[in-house]
Amino acid sequence: MSPTKLTVLISGSGTNLQAIIDALPTTLPAETNIVRVISNRKAAYGLHRASKANISTKYHNLVSYKKKYENDEKRAREEYDKDLAKMILEDGTDVVVCAGFMHILSEEFLGPLGEGGVSIINLHPALRGQFNGANAIERAHKAFMDGEITQTGVMIHYVISEVDMGEPLLEVPIPLTHPDDDDIAALEERIHRIEHKAIVEGTRLAIEAHWKKRGQ
């Protein structure tokens, strides 16, 4: 297997990023490196985690695009995504990991990376077809409290234009039978612990699938 270059996209504290960083020497395939961590939020603590691990970082700001194309938000997002794709391709990235990246990626991003043979995966705190999009944990908790579901989950999936509906690499069902599941804070903590393991395993599977597709 060839050396693998990862780009990790984040928006927040970066605990899932930290799980990947911690797994680099032991769990992920040999010669896997994070070439850059990119955030769409300047204050994201994950940027500090990356810098502490001597990983290059970039703050890619959507606000400046909205100002430039103030009367056309669709154009602003497309131009943002074009530049994001260009940056990643210039880094020679093999696999992009969306680890809590709060931005819907358009075809202006997905198309060029697909043509470049770059795999894109995303962590989502729900199972496929359940609670797509934002606030998945809160929505799952409400459905549980209303008696509508008896389990939720975490998945790592390939990214497509239809949000959170790409093919799963890994799904971890979470039965909602824990005594604390009626406490949303306790449920969030439980799910986040599972996410940290899932993001590492999903990244490993994505790397292996990437090189298998390339015949290595």
In this predicted model, what pLDDT tens digit does every residue of 176-214 receive, in sequence order? 987 777 889 989 999 999 999 999 999 999 999 999 988
Measured CA to CA, the distance from residue 179 to residue 203 in angstroms comes to: 31
Give residue-wise pLDDT tens across range 39-51: 999 999 999 999 9
Is 1's pLDDT higher than 80? no
Residue 54's pLDDT band (cuts 50, 70, 90) = very high
Give residue-wise pLDDT tens across range 132-182: 999 999 999 999 999 999 999 999 999 998 988 889 999 999 999 877 778
Measured CA to CA, the distance from residue 46 to residue 151 in angstroms comes to: 30
Token digits for 213?
């597709």
> pTM for this structure?
0.94
Token digits for 209?
């699938």
Give residue-wise pLDDT tens across range 65-121: 999 998 899 999 999 999 999 999 999 999 999 999 999 999 999 999 999 999 999
* Helix (H) / strand (E) containing 85: helix 73-90
Can you give the pLDDT at residue 180? Answer: 73
Residue type (1 letter), 199: I
Domains of the chain: 4-213 (3.40.50.170)
Name 168's bridge partners. 157
List active site positions.
124
Measured CA to CA, the distance from residue 32 to residue 142 in angstroms comes to: 39
